[in-house]
Chain A
């Protein structure tokens, strides 16, 4: 009886693979980043965590647009926030530059969308990925770090006057138009 068998593709010590150089063994730096980002994208697509989503922009895998839906029971509940991810060439060894594109009123985010979050700065580690960053940001919305605010007024109001805080959040929030989305792309 004829039959066919299959070598597990994960065995990189495979004799056939060592004879011909595997396409994965491309030492080029950008190729590594691309590969890593592609696998991150794949796992992000497959896991489909509710409330967060991200996708690369046209023709450039190093620039992504992400969307966070404000978590329930926070002043941001139900609001959509767009973010931009700019990955450095040595990603994941340095953190991506993450900015809020949608105007947001938050103690740790300034009016140009810059974010004060330790894991995006000195606490960055290669084990973080787009998904974990997005989840951290989502929880940051509900639990701001009022000890080191970028927006002092917001930090103050968070505890003192939740109603006024909520008003300012809604006043500042504005969904981006299609044009703005496409231009940021």
Chain B
């Protein structure tokens, strides 16, 4: 360095011209700084300088953009910056440039700090989810980058590099993209929480919509959300109702951010798969569709999803036929769009955005229809005379529009049956045979057994007066209906019982067997009450013992019957209620009261077990041993009415056959024992 300086002075001496002198000085200074600045750069540890400058710049940015502020009442305040802090930083940058530290590491440190500042801004209160107005904040983020961040960066860069007015359009665009993607990512990280708080979280969901413009972003969303769902929703602790509720929201939310439905399709796959594996899904869906929202008790029922019931209350959007059947063959469709690129191969375009369609595509038509039949049957049998069947008709129409008329014929007949029975009952009761009796107390429902699901058919004796009424009714029916015969199913009814005691009146609406049991105690008085044992009752009423027990337990809980203290097993009527004491010990046997009118799938399965076993034996005898899946398929085909159970049930059945040593198991294959 010294020789260089000396030579410069020597040159300076050689020239005497004033003008040239200033030029020389400038040159000299230039040369000096050129030689000096590397010394500065070399003499400071680069890494520490970079880190320190980043830290300082970031702190200054935090103050400049007031990232940690708690007060954000004025809406436009987020675009304002704290000039004092920004000026201090600019001064620092000027000074750095003055000593030649403005390039290289300083610019990099600044860029790094800005990046971090953007992240912090996105996570700050300024960019909080708008829970009240439910509007996205993504626009205001873009404005912030444009109005607040970009000018600041420009000034800082010119302070660092000395370029007066750097053209930074390219960079600003990059900062904007960066800010948007950070916002999108931070929203996606909490997406599941937002979904749970829908619709207040609509703003956050719309922020995501602004983010997912690239395939990568969409992929990021799908993967992350699927992980969240797996972890937080699809576990044994979540009730099916809850999962269905969330699924309904997911459908709504994802249709909002992606109208083509590809994201929804991708995201909902695991949920749908999981829902299918739950046995009560179809039942809850149908039950929710039939639910009456006005009824308070139904709202809190564990079997009714609010979201589905709400959705059903909306008008039905008719699905257009052409689009559904062959979307690609509709040459007049001016709105045609090719399949989105990120769709999975079996993606089907959802032509309507309504959530019900998604739910109904969860299962095969047949499965849904058979569940619908069961639930509708139960529902109709419970319905009282004054219900107008509007909801049921509506649901049926909905199913028809999705599944076609032919599948729902049985349900049609069921509705028709209920309507017809009302008319017929009125007619019969008006006829002469009922003129002198209390016929008004009897209503009957005439069901076409062929179309109804399998019903409870426990036989027992009903009280003689009721028997008389029924006989008369049957007679009237035969006159009106071409001598067709009625077969009564006493187990399905409902009876209103009024019991008059010496000191009180008990009035209950109970199933007929319960009424029959209490009628058997008729005739005694306080001094000489009727006493009967369970076995006696079962014999007298020709009723199965479990039903008798159920009924006796019910009446005991109502303090009508009690087990006699002297002879256990004998029940007597409590004619006069003791003052205290007995009142306290009413057992809580009421829970057993609700016995379903329609047989459950499990009942049906166990009842037909022998048939299934005969089929399976014949199958493997004739065709050699075969795997479970093939047996299942063959059963579905060969059994009249199909085999409406899954592998789990079948496996149980096969196992029991192996234990009975009718079959031998070999891996997954079952064969006949030789």
A139 at the interface (CB under 8 A from B): no
Instruction: Choose among A5, A48, A61 the residue that contacts B614 (Cβ–Cβ < 8 A).
Output: A48
Q: Are B623 and A182 in contact (CB under 8 A)?
A: yes
Q: Are A6 and B488 in contact (CB under 8 A)?
A: yes
How many Å lie between the Cα of A64 and that of B381 in the bound state? 42
Cβ contacts under 8 Å, A161 to chain B:
none
Cβ contacts under 8 Å, B441 to chain A:
1
Q: What are 14 A-B pairs at a CB distance below 8 A?
A: A1-B512, A1-B515, A2-B495, A4-B488, A5-B488, A6-B446, A7-B447, A7-B448, A13-B484, A44-B618, A45-B618, A46-B611, A55-B618, A61-B637
Cβ contacts under 8 Å, A178 to chain B:
624-625
On B, residues with C-beta under 8 Å from A are 381, 409, 412-413, 416-417, 420, 441-451, 455, 462, 466, 469-470, 474, 477, 481-482, 484-490, 492-496, 512, 515, 611, 614-615, 617-619, 621-626, 630, 633-634, 637-638, 640
* Known contacts A46-B611, A54-B622, A65-B622; A1 and B469 CB within 8 A of each other: yes
Q: Are B622 and A67 in contact (CB under 8 A)?
A: yes
A27 at the interface (CB under 8 A from B): no
In the complex formed, the residue of A with least CB distance to B630 is A58
Q: Are B442 and A3 in contact (CB under 8 A)?
A: yes
* Known contacts A45-B615, A46-B614, A61-B638; A4 and B445 CB within 8 A of each other: yes
Cβ contacts under 8 Å, B485 to chain A:
7-8, 11
Q: Are B484 and A7 in contact (CB under 8 A)?
A: yes
How many Å lie between the Cα of A176 and that of B216 in the bound state? 58
Per-position 1/0 for A1-29, Cβ under 8 A of B: 11111111101011111011001000000
How many Å lie between the Cα of A159 and that of B488 in the bound state? 64
Cβ contacts under 8 Å, B626 to chain A:
182
A163 at the interface (CB under 8 A from B): no
Per-position 1/0 for A48-90, Cβ under 8 A of B: 1000011111110100111100000000000000100000000
Instruction: Choose among A6, A19, A46 the residue that contacts B447 (Cβ–Cβ < 8 A).
Output: A6
Q: Are B623 and A16 in contact (CB under 8 A)?
A: no
Instruction: Choose among B469, B487, B515 the residue that contacts A5 (Cβ–Cβ < 8 A).
Output: B487
Q: Which of A19, A20, A181 has the most CB of B within 10 A?
A: A20
Instruction: Choose among A3, A38, A53, A82 the residue that contacts B490 (Cβ–Cβ < 8 A).
Output: A3
A42 at the interface (CB under 8 A from B): yes
* Known contacts A11-B484, A16-B420, A65-B623; A5 and B611 CB within 8 A of each other: no
> Interface residues of A toward B: which range?
35 or more
Cβ contacts under 8 Å, B470 to chain A:
3
Q: Are B417 and A16 in contact (CB under 8 A)?
A: yes
Cβ contacts under 8 Å, A13 to chain B:
482, 484
Cβ contacts under 8 Å, A66 to chain B:
622
A185 at the interface (CB under 8 A from B): yes
Cβ contacts under 8 Å, B481 to chain A:
15
Cβ contacts under 8 Å, B462 to chain A:
1, 3
How many Å lie between the Cα of A23 and that of B462 in the bound state? 36
A98 at the interface (CB under 8 A from B): no
How many Å lie between the Cα of A20 and that of B409 in the bound state? 8
Q: Are B638 and A55 in contact (CB under 8 A)?
A: yes
* Known contacts A7-B448, A7-B487, A53-B622; A2 and B443 CB within 8 A of each other: yes
In the complex formed, the residue of B with least CB distance to A83 is B622
Instruction: Choose among B449, B512, B615 the residue that contacts A7 (Cβ–Cβ < 8 A).
Output: B449
Chain A interface, >50% SS class: mixed
How many Å lie between the Cα of A67 and that of B451 in the bound state? 36
Q: Which of B409, B455, B634, B638 has the most CB of A within 10 A?
A: B638
A41 at the interface (CB under 8 A from B): yes
A39 at the interface (CB under 8 A from B): yes
How many Å lie between the Cα of A15 and that of B416 in the bound state? 11
Cβ contacts under 8 Å, A19 to chain B:
416
Counting residue pairs across A and B whose Cβ atoms lie within 8 Å, the total is 147
Cβ contacts under 8 Å, B455 to chain A:
6
The 8 A-B residue pairs with the shortest CB-CB distance in the complex, in nearest-first order: A181-B624, A3-B493, A9-B450, A4-B492, A65-B622, A45-B614, A2-B494, A55-B622
How many Å lie between the Cα of A126 and that of B147 in the bound state? 92
Q: Are B488 and A185 in contact (CB under 8 A)?
A: no
Q: Which of A3, A42, A64, A182 has the most CB of B within 10 A?
A: A3
Q: Are B619 and A55 in contact (CB under 8 A)?
A: yes
Q: Which of B381, B449, B625 has the most CB of A within 10 A?
A: B449
B77 to chain A, nearest CB (A): 70
Instruction: Choose among A4, A23, A45, A67 the residue that contacts B409 (Cβ–Cβ < 8 A).
Output: A23
How many Å lie between the Cα of A4 and that of B493 in the bound state? 6
B163 to chain A, nearest CB (A): 78
A3 to chain B, nearest CB (A): 4
How many Å lie between the Cα of A185 and that of B442 in the bound state? 58
Q: Are A3 and B638 in contact (CB under 8 A)?
A: no
In the complex formed, the residue of A with least CB distance to B482 is A13
Cβ contacts under 8 Å, B494 to chain A:
1-2
Q: Are B621 and A55 in contact (CB under 8 A)?
A: yes
Q: Which of B441, B469, B621 has the most CB of A within 10 A?
A: B621
Given A7-B447, A8-B485, A65-B622, 6 new contacts (CB under 8 A): A1-B466, A3-B490, A9-B450, A11-B485, A16-B416, A53-B618
Cβ contacts under 8 Å, A58 to chain B:
630, 633-634, 637
B448 to chain A, nearest CB (A): 5
Cβ contacts under 8 Å, A5 to chain B:
444-447, 474, 477, 486-489
B421 to chain A, nearest CB (A): 9
How many Å lie between the Cα of A23 and that of B290 in the bound state? 26
How many Å lie between the Cα of A66 and that of B621 in the bound state? 8
Instruction: Choose among B482, B515, B638 the residue that contacts A38 (Cβ–Cβ < 8 A).
Output: B638
A55 to chain B, nearest CB (A): 4
How many Å lie between the Cα of A71 and that of B494 in the bound state? 57
In the complex formed, the residue of A with least CB distance to B615 is A45
How many Å lie between the Cα of A45 and that of B617 in the bound state? 9
Q: Are A4 and B622 in contact (CB under 8 A)?
A: no
Q: Are A1 and B488 in contact (CB under 8 A)?
A: no
Q: Are A16 and B448 in contact (CB under 8 A)?
A: yes
In the complex formed, the residue of B with least CB distance to A84 is B622
How many Å lie between the Cα of A17 and that of B484 in the bound state? 13
Cβ contacts under 8 Å, A53 to chain B:
617-618, 621-622
* Known contacts A5-B445, A19-B416, A45-B618; A38 and B493 CB within 8 A of each other: no
A29 to chain B, nearest CB (A): 19
How many Å lie between the Cα of A4 and that of B444 in the bound state? 5
* Known contacts A2-B494, A55-B618; A7 and B486 CB within 8 A of each other: yes
A12 to chain B, nearest CB (A): 9
How many Å lie between the Cα of A92 and that of B640 in the bound state? 19
Cβ contacts under 8 Å, B484 to chain A:
7-8, 11, 13-14
How many Å lie between the Cα of A15 and that of B446 in the bound state? 12
